[in-house]
Structures are given as structure tokens and as C-alpha cells.
Amino acid sequence: MQYKVFSRFGGILVGGLYGLLMRIFFGLNFKGDMADLFSVTFVWILPILVGLTPLLFASKEDLDDIGVRISRPIWSVLTFFILCYWTGREDIICILIISIPFLFVAGISGVLFGWAVLSYRKKNRILYSLLLLPFLTGFIEPHFPTPRESFITTSSIIINADKAGIWENIVRVRRIQESEYRKGLFNYAGIPRPLYAELDKDTLGGTRIGHFEGGLRFQENIIHWQRNNAVTFDIKIIPSATNRTIFERHMLQGQHFKFLNATYQLKEIREGQTELLLTTKYQLDTKINLYGAFWGKLLLTDFQDRLIDVIKDRCERPQTN
């Protein structure tokens, strides 16, 4: 009876704990001698092992059940997520970002490799040695070149106002009240919302400081200035002094992600109607750039769309602010 209970639930817990230990290990700073959290090893290989771990403890009857070979790896990954959140290793937004590869790969690996677990059941040493695979691939991965790529995300909106009026709401942003800003899923998951932006001088070389919830700030230096038409800022993240979130630490860790610049551009459609475009250019320096760019576009598009919605509302109904 006890064995059946352990084979059903114990393996799931062991898989979650194994994943947590790997999260702690790959979160250490090896200075390029070992793969880190932004690697193929952590994002795509580790889920295979986290998913297969509960199957090592499953009975033959369970391994013959395709439903078990899918569900238990997924439950193992979900246990890993809970442990990471409970121990403060990850926050909601970080778990959300890694959820796609972890859940998908774990479920697929259970289907594809469940038979191998059954076939090599009598050779437990071979099976258990697979749990060392992330250490091996994690050591090998840094020896391959890491691509450095730039990506661009653009949002646009039509505003019923002239360019001069919109311009004043772009270069400086008055404090955004909660009633003005429509929070979305990512904000509730941990992405800080913008509060206000202040500019020291209206010219090339001026510096704007963007303030966000939690104390995060962006230092934005003007590198292109064409009054009432376009302005471009380079971007440097100023980390929170006291309330630095896990997501913020990931952004700053290892220079894997870097904002390059942001551009506001105004295009007159007709008198009293203007198209506002906000474009952000950023750089990724990982071996999972394609996946990183997917989330980069998703998160930045969400942020940009919500910000220019505020600008539109202010320009069209200035008397309410």
C-alpha cells in the first residue's frame, strides 16, 4: 500500500525537488564556465529530467497507461514551480515565461521515453545516471558561441489631437493614476507599471528618468530630437534600491537582455489627427534567443500598448487629468 502511494505521489515530489536543486545550481554565478538559467540546458533539457523522474518510481501498470505518462511529468513540473515560488527562487512572471517549455517538454518526454523507463527498469543505475545529464550539457554548452541579436517591437495608435499637443505628453509624463492605467495579466504577474517620467531639458543630450512601481527607474538619454516629430532615447536600467524583484534581477543578470533605445514618432494623418508610434529596440545574448524574443515581443507590446493608451486618453480628454 505504502509503495503504491509513493509510486504515485512520491515520484512527483522527488521530481519537483530535483528541479528545485537544479534551479539553485544553475542560478549560481559560474562566470561563463557553466550554463545558467538562460540556456538550452535549463530551459529545454532540464524539463525532460524533471518530467521523467516520477516515471522512475511508477509501476509497470502505470507506465503502460499513456495518461499517467503525460500527467505525472506535468504534475512534477507544477510541483517544481510551486517549490520555486515558495522558496523565493522565482516569481509569477518568471514561472509564466518558463512554463511553456517545461510543461510541453515534460509531457512529450513522458510519452516518448516512458517505454525506455520500462525497458531499463532492471538497470536503475543507467536510469538514475540520466539525472546527471544537465551537469554534462551545462558544462559543454558555454563552449559553443552565443549569438547576439537585436529585435524591434513597435506599437501604434491613432490620436485625435495635433502633434504639438501629443508631443508634450510624450517627452514628459505626468504621474499616471491607477484609474488611468489599465492593468493586464503581466502587471498582476509582476511587471511594474509606469508611474511618471521627468526630463531635464528639451534638446539633444537631455536626460529623462522614467519611474516605475517598486522603485525601478529607466535613465533615458536623448540621442535624436526632432520637436513635434520624433525623439529617441537610449535606455539604462537603474535597479531598485530596496525592493528589487526576481524578474528585475533576471533582467540585470549576466547582460543577457539589454534595452538599446526607444523611439516615439508622430505622423500627421490629417489636421487634428495623428498616428503615434512607439518602437523599442533590444538585444538578446543567449542560446535561446528565439524563445526570448517571443516573450520580449509579448511583454513589450503589452507594455507599449497600455502606455500609448494613456497618452491617447490624456491628449483627447486633457481636462480629466
Are the beta carbons of 19 and 76 closer than 8 angstroms? Answer: yes
Report pLDDT digits (tens) over 291-321.
999 999 999 999 999 999 999 999 998 554 4
CA-to-CA separations, 142 to 33, 130, 147, 285, in angstroms, rounded: 6, 20, 12, 12
* Greatest extent of the chain over all pairs of C-alpha atoms, in Å: 79
* Averaged pLDDT, 271-285: 96
Are the beta carbons of 207 and 200 closer than 8 angstroms? Answer: yes
Rounded Cα distance between 114 and 56, Å, is 9
Residue 49 backbone phi and psi in degrees, to 5: -75, -40
Higher pLDDT, 62 or 197: 197
CB neighbours of 307 closer than 8 A, spacing ≥ 6? 194, 278
pLDDT for the residue 240: 77
Paired strand residues for 132? none
pLDDT for the residue 246: 77
Which option is the CATH number for 149-320: 2.40.128.690, 1.10.510.10, 3.40.50.2300, 3.30.530.20? 3.30.530.20
What residue spans in the chain does CATH classification 3.30.530.20 cover?
Answer: 149-320
Side by side, the strands of the sheet bearing 194-199 are 149-159, 273-284, 257-270, 230-238, 217-226, 207-212, 194-199
pLDDT of 262 strictly over 60: yes
pLDDT of 31 strictly over 90: no
Range in 233-237, 249-253, 294-298 with the lowest mean pLDDT: 249-253
- The residue behind cell 520624433 is 230
| DSSP code, position 88 | T
Rounded Cα distance between 166 and 123, Å, is 70
Three-state DSSP at 151 gives strand
* Averaged pLDDT, 9-36: 92
What confidence tier does 120 reach under pLDDT thresholds 50, 70, 90? Answer: low
Are the beta carbons of 233 and 208 closer than 8 angstroms? Answer: yes
pLDDT above 90 covers what percent of the chain?
A: 73
Say what the pTM is. 0.88
pLDDT for the residue 312: 97
Rounded Cα distance between 261 and 244, Å, is 23
Strands (E), 213-256: 217-226, 230-238
Cα torsion at 212, 217, 223, 228 (round to 10°)?
20
Question: Alpha helices, DSSP H only, in the chain?
Answer: 2-5, 11-26, 40, 46-56, 60-63, 66-86, 92-119, 124-129, 133-140, 163-171, 185-189, 246-252, 289-316
